Structure 1
Amino acid sequence: MNLHGIWAIYKFEMHRFRRTLWTGLAVPVITTSLYFVVFGSAIGSRMREINGIDYGSFIVPGLMMLSLFNESIFNSSFGIHMPRFTGTIYEILSAPLSALETVLGYVGAAASKAIIVALVIFVTAHLFVDVQVKHPILMLLYLLLVAGTFCLFGFIVGVWAKGFEQLQIIPLLVVTPLTFLGGAFYSIDMLGQPWRSITLFNPVVYLINGFRWTFFGTADVSFEAALTATFAFFLVCASVIWWIFRTGYRLKQ
């Protein structure tokens, strides 16, 4: 394992994050505050508790997942797309680095950024509501798993995209709508049939509810089902990346 090579990629990507540190941290703080003003105060004051959980606390895991999804995809896709755009991808491909080591460098840095932002949102949420985490160790492990999974997905998007405009298509037109429709700000038990059954086909439902279970010990789907769905998505993304490096799809073009 070329740890020096992995660390070089990781350090380079994290240096880009440090250059925009205050902007990168200020945006989620402001966005989270606005969500609590709109959803927590305006809407939450008119809603009853959900499964015995105060509405302001209920939306915290959903807010964290929403930011985690977008940050993971953006950081990972941008990280691999820039070398393709500038032509320096050939230097990476010719370096003494395996596909696994290259992916670990980019995905590790992107996951670190996304987790930092998610934890900043978690801290910000305490300014508005009292949030207790029932399973803190599981929460951190699950956060790491989801971040790694979506960073792998973002890596695929970065290789697939032909331009910077296409980098925004998947997060804006696919992931964000699925997150809003996946129970980030409500319980899917509140939906009538057939919409509740249809919602269960949304994979984001399982990710959000798995994370919510680590907070409150209760969710719309079981933690086992959520964990299985997350691992399945992780394996699919890892398999696609293996195929990309094996065939050179859009890496050597």
Structure 2
Amino acid sequence: MPAASDSGSAQPSNLRYKRVILKLSGESLSAAGDRGISGAEVAQIAAQVKSALDTGCEIAVVIGGGNILRGAQFSGRTNSVQEATAHYMGMLATTINALALQDALEAAGCQTRVMSALSMDTICERFIRRRADRHLSKGRVVVLAAGIGSPFVTTDTAAAQRALELNADVVLKATRVDGVYSEDPEKNPHAVMYESLDYAEVMEKNLRVMDATAIALCREHGTPILVFNFNKEGNIVKAVAGESVGTWIGPKPAQ
């Protein structure tokens, strides 16, 4: 199917999800164990997003900034930078990542818009819900930067919030592991991966999938979360197609 144009495009009748929020960590843009932005990693993600877009699914991406800076690293009273200030610095880091991803997506053939929760008119649009909805309906990938524009709020919570505002069918949480495990699989090779969980289990077992506020938002509104490994070729396409990949959190998907 050809890429969507500005005039919009018809969607396949068998499309599982009409609209998704893809949550990418800042670290997904850097090489494993490294920081900063890797052009190869960004291009690989962009190619997968393009393939997913070609299925007819509408895609908004919420990007983190941990590969550059985390606001939480300045927590504590001994730091000269106030924690609230550091969180705003982290929002700027997400915008740097969003611009890098935008260029890679456009090089891959996608039409894009970067929308920020903070005003940065010379480099991107301000997030306005109706405008974002319009961009998505026209087949553009919308890259959402700066969280929700407030300190002490994670980009995971921003993903849940934007999913509700934009009526997304699911939050796709992209990680470097295959799903949600009972323990860190990189530390314990015997850790068990869950195929599905409900929101209460995630919180009761203290499974660090997303922060508690994000889980609570999704739980309150019945928005499902799919946690999967984006590093496996084709997994983003499989995720938007509703194929069995990763760990499903929330109500059982309709068959």
Larger proportion of helix: 1
TM-score (norm 2): 0.34
Structure showing greater radius of gyration is: 1
TM-score (norm 1): 0.35
Larger proportion of strand: 2
Higher-RCO chain (CA-CA 8 Å, sequence separation at least 6):
1
